[in-house]
Amino acid sequence: MPGPAVAPAPAAKPAPAASIAKAKPPAPVKAVVPPAAAVAPKPGPEQRPATPALDLAALEQRLRDTHAIGLFTKLSIKNQVDDLLDLFRAHFRSQANPPLAVLRQRYDLLLMKVLTLLQDGDVPLASAINSSREAIWQMLNDPAKLAST
């Protein structure tokens, strides 16, 4: 049995050209500008906070005083620091041996060791050492500053 017949939908008639010409153009979009107080100024180079000066003596004292590292481990770290300082002095005397890349690797490894030892027991000291990492490296790269240590 055939089902009900469905009539095809009427085709849409194209709009006459006259009605297109009479259509109004859309209104221009106005830009909304927030008030000056609502826009936060982007910090420029002169607005960045100054990096605090490196207080190496205070960091050394805090390392001596911390309970996060045992006495024998502190002695071992001190010996490693002294060895690294000797290598830097040798580098500046000979200007080639040991190469700076090797010194940077030893420096990074020593700092990672110290930070690993401090990460659970003395978080503020670990943070202070980590934030001073590049400042310490710059001090080690300056023969005049290294001579004063």
What pLDDT band is residue 5 in, cutting at 50, 70 and 90? low
Domain assignment present for residue 128? The answer is: yes
pLDDT digits (tens, 9 = 90+) for 39-52: 555 555 555 444 55
Domain assignment present for residue 142? The answer is: yes
Domain assignment present for residue 113? The answer is: yes
Domain assignment present for residue 41? The answer is: no
Domain assignment present for residue 32? The answer is: no
Asked whether the beta carbons of 98 and 91 are under 8 A apart, the reply is yes
What pLDDT band is residue 134 in, cutting at 50, 70 and 90? very high
Domain assignment present for residue 64? The answer is: no
CA 17 → CA 12, 20, 121, distances in Å? 15, 5, 82
Q: What is the pLDDT of residue 47?
A: 52
Between residues 31 and 123, the one the model is more confident about: 123
Q: Which domain holds residue 112?
A: 70-147
Render the burial of 127-146: b for 16+ CB within 10 Å, e for the rest.
ebbeebeeeeeebbbeeeee
Q: What is the pLDDT of residue 146?
A: 81
Q: Tell me which residue of 36, 82, 109 sits closest to 90, measured CA to CA.
A: 82
What pLDDT band is residue 31 in, cutting at 50, 70 and 90? low
Question: How many independent structural domains does the chain possess?
Answer: 1
* Secondary structure class of 2 (helix, strand, coil): coil
Domain assignment present for residue 42? The answer is: no
For residue 107, give every residue at least 6 positions away whose Cβ sits within 8 Å of its Cβ, in sequence order, or none: 84, 137, 140
pLDDT above 70: residue 24? no
For residue 80, give every residue at least 6 positions away whose Cβ sits within 8 Å of its Cβ, in sequence order, or none: 110, 113
Domain assignment present for residue 125? The answer is: yes
pLDDT digits (tens, 9 = 90+) for 49-102: 445 567 888 999 999 999 999 999 999 999 999 999 999 998 888 866 888 899
Q: What is the pLDDT of residue 55?
A: 83
